[in-house]
Structure 1
Amino acid sequence: MPGTSRREALALGFAAAAMPMLAGGARAAVLKYTLNPVAIAPGVWTIYGLPEPITSKNGGAIANITIFDTSEGAVLIDAGPSHRYGEALKAKATELTGKPVVRVYLTHYHTDHVLGATAFESGTVSAGKTLTADLKKVGNDLTNAMYRVAGDWMRGTDIPTPGREAAEGVETVGERRFRLLPLAGHTSEDLCLYEESTGLLFPGDLVFLDRAATTPDARIDTWRTSLKTLGGIDHKLLVPGHGPVEAGTRGIAQTGRWLDTVEAQINDGFERGLDITELMAVPLPSWTDGIAVAKYEYARSVMHLMPGLEVARLPRLTRV
């Protein structure tokens, strides 16, 4: 269709699919996210993401999202994978707090965390300078990819445009004091937040617990440095980007161990002359047996990281 983007074409196709199937017959079922907030502290709730890859069945609802009640209004840590999710999140936050959403902090630009921000006023959405720049640069590719994978869950979703800058320092919303610490490693910018009154630490996807970490945009050495920084922050509870809330640092240690394991296996496979397919078939150590989607994420990491290793270490061929 001339002048129509892939996303628009998909949206038109989905709209057509939702029309009556027969004259006077059934209509396609309306997709609806079921949000089940769990109280983790007074006036604070976390909605747990599913320990799965993004699929057309789960609509991309795989990341943890947290809601704070404050005297000024609701504050969110991340916004979910789609406009539809963001609308459901807005309604749930208002139901829980009795107030409108006044702040949405985005931790990094991966789709399962940010695309729901399109359901909120730009002036309430806060992101670091690098994250905002990344959304402008690759946002269209990210949304197109999600439309292809998650299908009709994505109807109405576009690229978020944060209207507030999340700079290093302390921001006060009502009685809550959020300490903002821009880090990196999982992506080019990973915003960590610490809420002082509750002692809750939000490292975004710098920390995964009982779910294999994703590495499509990783700089592993930088990630390790960020994990050391996080390990030095005293906290009561840590809320990882994926996995259960915990009262310790097991997620920090486990994420570091996963990165070490993936990097070591890829380096070993490279030295042994394995190709990508052979390397993906190498078994993971037994300690990963209880880690959700470990084999899936390991295979993805091989595809993400092996090409860079080959570029860095293989000799260049020159024409004579």
Structure 2
Amino acid sequence: MQRNWTSTVCHVATAALLLLAGPAWAANACPGPAIRVQSAAPGVWLIPGAPGDTTADNRGAISNLLAVREGRRLWLVGSGPSIAYARALNCQLQRISGRRVTDVIAPWPRPELVLGQAGLVGARRWAHEDVAGAMRERCPRCIERLRLRLGAAATDLADAKIALPDHRLQGERGTLGPLRWQRLQRSGDTSVTLWSLPRAHLRTAHGLLWADGAPDLRDADTDSLERAWQQLAADVTEDARWVPEQGPVLPAAAAAAHLRYLQALRSAIDDAQARGAPESDPAPALPGVSDVVNQSLRHQLNWQHVWREAEARWMAAPLTPAASSSQ
């Protein structure tokens, strides 16, 4: 009887203490938005982006991010689309890893990947000098572009400001903390940097690889992408895993698959133009390409993009002697 009475008193006292502590627990909660963080390896976390383009529902958080703890430092590749997002992520990473972000990297000048930097107060901001230069030139415009895409969620950008990288990298490749980096080109004036973590066999491929559908060819030139994918396919080891711009982690063969997609797309466009088909026709399903890619919206956009590239090459090609003499 005495034991039951004592147990009851203890339970009542514990409940009372939890009720009193409730406001304190709430005060310590991380700010929104809620962000999913996945363990990818010991001391390594993947923050998955939403599929597709920026909308009010996904609040621009469409790019994959990667966090790596090394000693007292926490490295973050990418920072998300807004100050609010970066602050929420920083809080969650501190709870999971025991560290706040000490170093943040801008892989390429995509607003959904770099505008969050301003919310990581005290973190060192890293980027290749080419990426930093593009951010300085484009970010004032990219904030407005992102605001339009966000629609009803544009309030996330109410305090938007540009935090340019304060540490610049030079050259083609190097090492930074636990990471190795490599510079490649997405177009003639857009550099991207890939970041690898040898201990986890992980490599990021922001701006180059996609797993939620066809690769995004907008604002790119396919000659540059082709060279980049060829280099990735040649350099990658069989045990490597790619963290793409969007979608789940990809196997080592992903770059070769992107190359096959581009080759099939160009071939289909050459055939369509030879038949005199209009550009406005729907993009066909390509042979040897997955349904996920063939059925994605980006495949339709890529059809138009590569069609216009083919037309531009045709218009710029010098006339052959036979063609010249016939005019």
TM-score by length of 1: 0.78
Following TM superposition, the consecutive aligned residue runs of length 4 or more in structure 1 with deviations greater than 4 angstroms are 286-289
Q: Whose Rg is larger?
A: 2
Q: Which residue of 2 aligns with 1:63?
A: 63
1:239 and 2:243 are equivalent in the alignment: yes
The within-5 A match list for 1:284-295 is 284-285=285-286, 287-288=288-289, 290-291=291-292, 294-295=295-296
Shift of 1:122: 7.8
Give 1:179's aligned residue.
180
Alignment partners' CA distance in 2, 1:102 and 1:315: 49
Pairing partner for 1:188 from 180, 190, 200: 190
- Asked if the contact 1:66–1:77 (Cα under 8 Å) also holds between the matched residues in 2, the reply is yes
Summarize deviations over 1:149-169 as a string: whole Å, max 9, x none.
Answer: 113233322334111113344
Q: CA deviation at 1:200?
A: 1.7
Q: 1:106 to 1:294 in 2, by over 3 A?
A: farther
- How much does 1:266 deviate? 3.4
Alpha carbons of structure 1 residues 272 and 118: separation in structure 2 relative to 1, 3 Å = farther
Matched AA of 2:36: N
Which residue of the partner structure matches residue 218 of structure 2? 216
CA distance in 1, matches of 2:58, 2:212: 19
Q: Does 1:157 align with 2:160?
A: yes
- Please tell me the root mean square deviation across aligned C-alpha atoms, in Å: 2.6
Distance 1:309 1:286 in 2: 20
SS in 2 for 1:69: strand
What residue identity is the alignment partner of 1:86?
Answer: A
Shift, 1:297, TM fit:
0.8
269-278 or 148-157: bigger deviation: 269-278
1:122–1:163 contact (8 Å) kept in structure 2: no
TM-score of the pair, normalised by structure 2 = 0.76
Following superposition, the deviation at residue 148 of structure 1 comes to: 0.6
Q: Report if the CA contact (8 A) 1:169-1:180 is conserved.
A: yes
SS of residue in 2 equivalent to 1:291: helix
Range with bigger deviation, 101-110 or 227-236: 227-236
Q: 1:315 to 1:42 in 2, by over 3 A?
A: closer
- Compute the displacement of 1:298 (Å): 2.2
Cα 1:94–1:304 change in 2 (3 A) is same
Between the aligned partners of 1:58 and 1:286, the Cα distance in structure 2 is 32
**Matched residue type, 1:240:** P
Q: Does the Cα contact within 8 Å between 2:194 and 2:204 map onto a contact in 1?
A: yes
- Aligned CA distance change for structure 1 residues 32 and 284 (closer, same or farther; 3 Å): farther
C-alpha change, 1:221 and 1:79, in structure 2 (3 Å) is same
Identity %: 20
Once residues 266 and 154 of structure 1 are traced to their aligned partners in structure 2, the CA distance between those partners, rounded to angstroms, is 40
The answer to whether 1:132 aligns with 2:136 is no
> Partner amino acid for 1:83?
I
| Structure 1 residues 96-107: aligned runs within 5 Å | 96-107=96-107
CA contact (8 A) 1:200 1:237 kept: yes
- Counterpart of 1:238, as a letter, is W
Relative to structure 1, is the Cα distance of residues 272 and 115 closer, same or farther in structure 2, using a 3 angstrom cutoff? farther
Q: Is the 8 A contact 1:37 1:47 kept in 2?
A: yes
- 3-state SS of 2:57 partner: coil
Q: 1:183 touches 1:191 (CA, 8 Å); kept in 2?
A: yes
Shift in Å at residue 34 of structure 1? 2.3
Instruction: Please give the secondary structure, in 2, of the residue aligned with 1:197.
Output: helix
Say how many residue pairs are matched.
280
